[in-house]
Structure formats: C-alpha cells, structure tokens
Structure 1
Amino acid sequence: MNIVCVGAGSMAESMIHGWINKRILKAEDIAVMNKSDRDRLELLSDEYGVKIVQKERQELRNADFILLAMKPKDVEAALTDIKDNLTGNTVIISVVAGVSIETIQKHVGNFPVARAMPNTSAKVGKSATGVAWSKYVTLDQQHDLRDLLSSIGSVTVVDEKQIDAVTAVAGSGPAYIYYFAEAMTEAAIANGLSPADAKRLVRQTFAGAADMLQQEDFAALRKKVTSPNGTTAAGLAALERNNFKGIVGECVKDAADRARALGREFE
C-alpha cells in the first residue's frame, strides 16, 4: 500500500509516525510533498525515512491513497497541482477541516474521496478518527481505509454532514484537554504545590481517568468519586456555578461552526 501526503504539517507527521510505529506501512511506502517548504520535507525524510515526491511525480501515479493535509485555503491549488497525475484507483483522503467531498470532486472528478478527521494523538496510536466516504469508494477500499485509520486509533464511520461535529469534538478535542490540564496545573501551583509536582500529578490524573473512561459510563464514574459534602462535590459545585457544561457546549459549537465556515470560504 502506497500513500502520498500532500501537506507536511503536524497532522501528517502524526499520522506518518503512527503508521510506521504500528507497522501498517513501511517508510518506503510513504512519500511527502508540499507547496514550497523543502526544509520541512527533508526533515520528515531524515526523521522517518519517507520519500520526497520528485519532479516526475511517479509517486503520485503509484499511490493507492493521497492524503490531503494542508490548510483549507491551499486545497484548490494542491488539487490543481496533482490532478493530472492521479489514477482511477487512487483514493483521496482529506483531513482538511470544512472542505466537502463534493468540492474536492469538482476539482478532480469522480474519484473515490473520503473525509477523515483524526487528531494528533495518531502519533501514539490513540487518535479518535471520524470518517465519511463518497459513493465511489468501493467496499475493498473502505476496508483498506479502515485498516489504515484504525492503525492510529479508533475509527467511527459517520455521515459527511456529521464531520464538522467530529472536527469540533475529536479533531480539536485534545487542545481543550491540554488547556484544562494547564488550568489544573496552575491551580495546583496556586494552592501550594511545586510546578514539577503539579505537572506530575495532573499528568497521571488525566492518564488514569482516560483509562477508566474506557471501562464505564462517564456519569457513573463521576458519581462514584463524588461523596456527598466531600471535596469532589465542592469542586464540581464550583464548575456548575460557573456553567462549565455551557462553556464546553459553546466551545464545541463554535469549533463546528468554524469548520462549516471554512468550507463555505473554500466553495
């Protein structure tokens, strides 16, 4: 299986790292290209052993999958650049926020196209990925897509109209958690812990809670650790007073709205 990554930012690198680490792909099966940053391509080649797409573009013609991993504003130029080197059996996988399958097909024709939204936890094989595909993606290609994406984490197949919500929850979600971890650390330091101890305790708390979330219902877990009139209840009461759920709801809604807006800007 050969894949060309068009765009070489943090998402592409996370996926490359995950694929090689999980041995779903060998380094020589992966090629990278971007608009103009040759230094970035050489860095990825040196770090992971992947190939750089050459002037002749043979890597594109041999590709089973083309991964679109650039900013939405660069999609049109990228598709124009590669479309003459695509073959009919190549599946285009877009991880670009907001850009629809229909829009991609307007530029390249009726190719099999999938929209996926992984997150950068792909680097450690823990991505939460949502994926939708066009009617031109065959059953065999769907199977290969699942294998490719499940090697870097979990895969949830959704309707394309749900991808913007996936973007807001799974694609952007790690950043919300990192921000919460920052806030927890700052609060721990303000309450007397050293920065090193605060970070160590917060990291392990998040790691342990993440494992527990795989085993039981979220609300049930919260209730189990919340004794009446105890310390956890006091902390949760502060979150409720400050409309924590409302803030999270606005966060996800605004991220999903932005994904939709990016799509409209491109179209």
Structure 2
Amino acid sequence: MAMKLGIVGGSGALGRAIALAHLNHGGVAPSDLWIANRDGRRDGFEDWPDVTVTAKAQDLAEACDVILLSVPPALFPALEVHAPDRLITSVMAGITIEAMAAKTGATRIARGMSSPVAELGLAHSAFCATDAVTDADREMLHATFAPCGVVDEVTDEALMDTFCALTGPVPGFVAYFAACMNDFATSRGMPPEVADRAVRQLFKASGEALSTWPEKPSDQVQAMIDYAGTTAAGLIAMKEMPVAQGIEAGLAAAEERARQMGTPPDAEG
C-alpha cells in the first residue's frame, strides 16, 4: 500500500535491517522511506539515493505516515518527536505504549518487536495496538513489518516483553547449542573445519524443515521418540537432564531484562 515510512534510528542494527527489508523485499519505494539518525549520514544507504536521510527526527515525523521508533531504549528519554496525528510504532525493548504516548503526544500507537534477520525477510514481527488504531492503520502496520517476514498482532501488551525474549536472544541460544554440538564433534576427533560446516548445515536444514512441517514441534519430538532410533536415544537422554529448565530460565531472564530496559534508572526500585 502507498505510505511514507520513517524509521527513527534507521541506521542502527534493527532499524537498518527493517529498512533494507523494504528496499530488498518489495516494501515501500525508496522515495517513500525516511531514515533519521544522529548525524544525518547515509552510511549503508548509498545505493538508494532516493531514500531521505536526516538528523532531524521531527522533520521525519512531519513527512511520514508511519513513524517507527528504533533507538536504543537508553536513548529514548532524550528523543524529541512530537507527532500527535501520526501512527507510531516501535521495536524498542521495554518501551511501553504509555511511554510512547507521553513522548510523542500520539494516541494511534502500536508497540512492536522484530529482529535483525528482517534484512533477510526471515523475522517474526509482532505488535500490540491501542484502541485508537484503525483498520487502515493496521493495514499500514502490516505493510511496515510484512517485508521483514511473518507478522502477528496480539492484544496483551505484556506479551511484547515475551516476544522480545524470543526474537532477540534465540539466535544466540541456537548458536550456543550449535557450539556445544561443534565441541562434541571435535572432542571425538572430527576436524574443526568439517565439524563447523556440518553443524551449520544441519541447523540450516533443521530450520527450513521446522518452518515447513505441519506438525507442532512437540508432536515432532514425540514422533521421533516413538521411532526409537538414534534421535530417540538422544532426546530421551536430554529429557532426563534439566535442559528444558535451562531454556525456560534463559528466556525468563531475557524477558525480565526487556522489562528493565524500559525502566528509567531513577524509577528502579
């Protein structure tokens, strides 16, 4: 759909990934994309001269239909954007709808979350909207996140911290699992370069398969256990260890950190 999208913090890792998703995967036209950063430099957008880059976030806010806030949460208190008549969304960990409303004067607000793999069109993005957000606004929100990958809307704002825990840390969790597998293979004498290639390819294949199989992951696990092969032996051994508790603890810690990132230091108890 035709709209102008402005990304405040669009030169940061996540903001830039979302911008590149649009430029590379059929989102808004370059002439309809604005980027605001602290110095107005267009590093990373040299190949798209029609993209507007500015150091003035307010200029972006006045020119665009959708304003996506993607600054580090610690810098949010210093952000100056007054946009009471605009649709505001964000991908800032921990920053609440209430805080965005107080900062921008807007009522049409959606708190969102995505991940840097948006650049590849592989992200899962989610958002939670205020009652003032219209059906037309929702179309624009879906158009904002659709080039990044899969999009879902939820009605409970508290879930945005959960999504932050899922979308942010999980690539690191997967990398940790892969590192453990790599260590296992090399400890058995596998050449390190072969182990690295094998583990990378196995995770790539598993991700592709998981995204296309119709069964839920829990059903897939049970089916593999029922088959009683080598996978079953490994899964049964892991189920007898506190692996699930460790994963839950990691996600809960990430979720709590997301909440803390939206709390000003002088407000912490």
Which TM-score band (shorter chain)?
0.7 to 0.9
- Give deviations 1:130-155, integer Å, cap 9, x for gaps: 11011222110111111221221111
**How far apart, CA to CA, are the structure 2 residues paired with 1:253 and 1:56?**
34
Name the residue aligned to 1:153: 149
Name the residue aligned to 2:63: 62
- Give deviations 1:60-110, integer Å, cap 9, x for gaps: 3111111111111111211xx222xx361x211111111100111112223
Name the residue aligned to 1:220: 219
**How far apart, CA to CA, are the structure 1 residues paired with 2:24 and 2:75?**
29
Name the residue aligned to 1:10: 13
Deviation at 1:228, TM superposition (A): 6.8
Moved more, 247-256 or 175-184: 175-184
Name the residue aligned to 1:46: 46
**How far apart, CA to CA, are the structure 1 residues paired with 2:142 and 2:57?**
30
Deviation at 1:55, TM superposition (A): 5.4
**How far apart, CA to CA, are the structure 2 residues paired with 1:188 and 1:21?**
37
**How far apart, CA to CA, are the structure 2 residues paired with 1:11 and 1:145?**
17
Q: What stretches of structure 2 of length at least 5 have no aligned partner?
A: none
SS of the aligned residue for 1:198 comes to helix
Residues 84, 105 of structure 2: 8 Å contact kept: no
Deviation at 1:48, TM superposition (A): 4.7
Residues 110, 136 of structure 1: 8 Å contact kept: no
**How far apart, CA to CA, are the structure 1 residues paired with 2:192 and 2:73?**
38
Cα distance change on mapping 1:211 and 1:114 into 2, 3 Å = same
Q: 2:87 aligns with which of 91, 101, 106?
A: 91
**How far apart, CA to CA, are the structure 2 residues paired with 1:47 and 1:151?**
19
Are 1:199 and 2:202 counterparts?
Answer: no
Cα distance change on mapping 1:227 and 1:199 into 2, 3 Å = farther
Residues 65, 93 of structure 1: 8 Å contact kept: yes
Alignment of 1:18-37 (within 5 A): 18-36=21-39
**How far apart, CA to CA, are the structure 2 residues paired with 1:54 and 1:95?**
20
Deviation at 1:227, TM superposition (A): 6.3
Question: Which one-letter code corresponds to 2:190 in the other structure?
Answer: L
Cα distance change on mapping 1:264 and 1:212 into 2, 3 Å = same
Q: 1:137 aligns with which of 108, 133, 138?
A: 133
Q: 1:108 aligns with which of 68, 79, 104?
A: 104
- State the identity as a percent: 26
**How far apart, CA to CA, are the structure 2 residues paired with 1:167 and 1:222?**
25
Residues 81, 103 of structure 2: 8 Å contact kept: no
Deviation at 1:256, TM superposition (A): 0.8
Query: Aligned residues, how many?
Result: 259
**How far apart, CA to CA, are the structure 1 residues paired with 2:174 and 2:64?**
36
Deviation at 1:119, TM superposition (A): 1.1
Moved more, 115-124 or 169-178: 169-178
**How far apart, CA to CA, are the structure 1 residues paired with 2:187 and 2:43?**
40
Name the residue aligned to 1:187: 184
Residues 17, 48 of structure 1: 8 Å contact kept: no
Residues 117, 171 of structure 1: 8 Å contact kept: no
Residues 112, 127 of structure 2: 8 Å contact kept: yes
**How far apart, CA to CA, are the structure 2 residues paired with 1:231 and 1:19?**
43
Question: Which one-letter code corresponds to 1:34 in the other structure?
Answer: N
**How far apart, CA to CA, are the structure 1 residues paired with 2:92 and 2:60?**
21
Residues 66, 140 of structure 2: 8 Å contact kept: no
- Give deviations 1:199-242, integer Å, cap 9, x for gaps: 22222212222222231221222233346764323433443343
**How far apart, CA to CA, are the structure 2 residues paired with 1:253 and 1:82?**
32
Name the residue aligned to 2:117: 121
